[in-house]
Amino acid sequence: MTGEQQLKYTAEHEWVDADGDTATVGITAYAAARLGDIVYVELPGVGDEVTAGSVVGELESTKSVGELYAPVTGVVTEVNEEVASSPEVVNSDPFGAGWLLRVRVTETPELLDHAAYQQLTGEA
Amino acid sequence: MTDRENREPEPRRSPLHEVHTSEGATFTDFAGWTMPLKYRSELAEHAAVRTAAGLFDLSHMGEIVVLGPEAGAALDAALLGELSAMEVGRAKYTLMLNAEGGVVDDLVVYRTGPDRYLVVANAANRETVAAELRSRALGFAAEVQDESDDIGLLALQGPLSLDVLSEVGGFSADQDERTEQRFVELLTGLKNYRFLAAWYRGHPVLVARTGYTGEIGYELFVAPALLPQLWRAIREAGAGSGVVPVGLAARDTLRLEAGMPLYGNELTAATRPQQAGLGRLVLADKAAAYVGREAVEGFDGSGERILVGLASEGRRAGRHGYPVRAGEEVVGEVTSGALSPTLGHPIAMAYVHPDAVARELAIDVRGTALPARVVPLPFYKRPDRKA
């Protein structure tokens, strides 16, 4: 796993770990904590085309619903099946075992670096 | 330009705010107060109340005292039910109605003396309830005092709440602190919707067997200055029993499973008691005139939406404001919904047109139809309670 400092971020609280043309995507610890205990995760299907900035999934806690935005444009190559059966993993390990999907990237918009994301969440 | 008058007032803080911070609380603004939303995990807090016990800070609730020789008669004229006929030491769940028969607030009324009552109102309705009680008590030998700032409130709820409360040192049956054992005996014999006027370290405390979770539990009314000490004493007594502090997030899922209405969701100024399944509170043979009587007794419920429980499969829940459909037709609306932590499936309370209750229903979850069947309320009954 890449350190949080090396990851890229969106203003909608996704993190992106780019490795060649593959990007692993999850939500940040900040977003997971704000949602509360996550009880349901809906992810796109493998093979789905996703466009940066569009809603591709949902995360629900008992109290609220959070939308998952695609941080990059490309094709979904893998989704984390474990979070479907054990959504609490997103709370306990959002940057690791709680990853959500992998995308073969065709286009990456400008993303935030760690310092910029921390500034956004007021944690700098 | 300064716009001080338009600025939102600073939310108020509980006397326990620092205690909550040290307990790891995440806060939320609720009805003008900053209160704990959760401490660590709202699901763990919910489970603790169902299996052990949970401690709640309810400092935001309104406490209004009505006193005087005609306090009971004044409450009869102001609220549903016959509060004048209630014995000292008992509590009653009731409603304040407006002239149209709609609900101003849902309340628990405690008779604390022959000429004295304690009315507990929702935080958001405190001022309204106090003002309405004052105006409705005019002409009676009764006085209304909003004592919300001088009365603190904790709740300990769950199957182990009696064991834990019995272990908390400092309670006594009367002012003589040697009556600690007598207090435990009285507490053990205390039945649902009864309360004790007791003492905690030389200060009066009202210990009531009331609550908002569907479990056996207690609510403790004390001076706000005593709250931190009492909180810590209960936490210490409960440390070995799995007692945890519980925030508003779990409070909401607990009361939802127990089928208890939340003002603003299931009850509003436009809701008649009969629609909310609270018609039992309207006493046809009540002697006194009261605000809303004509409207509520003349209410023709046919064709008016009624409150039902809905259960679904899977893990995705309907939520406040989502439409309920029968086929393409919108026949109702969800007022509260969540994945039930205890039952493991989605539950919701919804107002549904009576003709549609027997039809195949679905909740419109952001464009996806979630099939839902009507089930009796409450969704959850504690295991020792007879059906």
pLDDT digits (tens, 9 = 90+) for B260-288: 999 999 999 999 999 999 999 999 999 99
Domains recognised in chain B with CATH numbers? 11-299 (3.30.1360.120), 302-387 (2.40.30.110)
- Banded model confidence at residue B9, pLDDT cuts 50, 70, 90: confident
- Compute the nearest-CA separation of A28 from chain B (Å): 17
Nearest by CB: B42 against A36, A40, A65: A36
Residue whose C-alpha is closest to residue B281's, from B69, B105, B148: B105
B262/A contact by beta carbon, under 8 A: no
pLDDT digit string, tens, across residues B147-177: 999 999 999 999 999 999 999 999 999 999 8
Residue A123 pLDDT: 73
A98 found inside a domain: yes
B43/A contact by beta carbon, under 8 A: yes
- Compute the nearest-CA separation of A62 from chain B (Å): 5
- Per the model's pLDDT, the better-predicted residue between B2 and B30 turns out to be B30
Q: Look at A39 and B339 and tell me if their CB atoms are within 8 Å.
A: yes
Residue A2 pLDDT: 65
Cβ-based neighbours of B63, under 8 Å, separated by 6 or more: B118, B119, B120, B121, B146, B147, B148, B151, B153, B221
Q: Look at A62 and B43 and tell me if their CB atoms are within 8 Å.
A: yes
Q: What does the pLDDT average to over B216-237?
A: 98
Alpha-carbon distances, residue B236 vs A30, B21, B239 (angstroms): 31, 17, 5
- Chain B residue with the nearest C-alpha to that of A91: B41
Residue B337 pLDDT: 98
A5 found inside a domain: no
* A61 contact residues in B (CB cutoff 8 A): 42
Sign of CA dihedral B118, B123, B127, B132: negative
Which tokens go with A87? 């959504």
- Banded model confidence at residue B302, pLDDT cuts 50, 70, 90: confident
* B339 contact residues in A (CB cutoff 8 A): 39-40, 60, 62
Residue B2 pLDDT: 43
Give the predicted TM-score (pTM) of the model. 0.93
Nearest by CB: A40 against B252, B315, B366: B315
Q: Chain B window 238-257: which residues touch A at a Cβ cutoff of 8 Å?
A: 249, 252-253
A123 found inside a domain: no
Residue B6 pLDDT: 53
Range of the domain at A48: 19-109
Percent of chain A with pLDDT over 90: 91
Least confident of A59-68, A97-106, B241-250: A59-68
pLDDT at B53 over 80: yes
Percent of chain B with pLDDT over 70: 97
pLDDT at B5 over 60: no
Kindly give the residue spans of alpha helices, DSSP state H, lying in B61-167.
Answer: 71-78, 126-136, 161-167
Across all residues in chain B, what is the average pLDDT?
Answer: 96
Residue A124 pLDDT: 59
A124 found inside a domain: no
pLDDT digit string, tens, across residues B317-358: 999 999 999 999 999 999 999 999 999 999 999 999 999 999
- Chain A residue with the nearest C-alpha to that of B37: A36
Tokens 């990059």 correspond to A72
Sign of CA dihedral A100, A35, B258, B48: positive
pLDDT at B377 over 70: yes
- Banded model confidence at residue B4, pLDDT cuts 50, 70, 90: very low
User: Which domain CATH number covers A72?
Assistant: 2.40.50.100
B42/A contact by beta carbon, under 8 A: yes
- Mutation target to probe the B interface, by most B beta carbons within 10 A, among A55, A56, A63, A91 is A63
A38 found inside a domain: yes
- Banded model confidence at residue B1, pLDDT cuts 50, 70, 90: very low
If one counts the domains in chain A, the total is 1
Q: A9 pairs with which residues across the strands?
A: A15, A112
Contact B107, B62 (CB under 8 A): no
- Chain B residue with the nearest C-alpha to that of A58: B316
- Banded model confidence at residue B8, pLDDT cuts 50, 70, 90: low
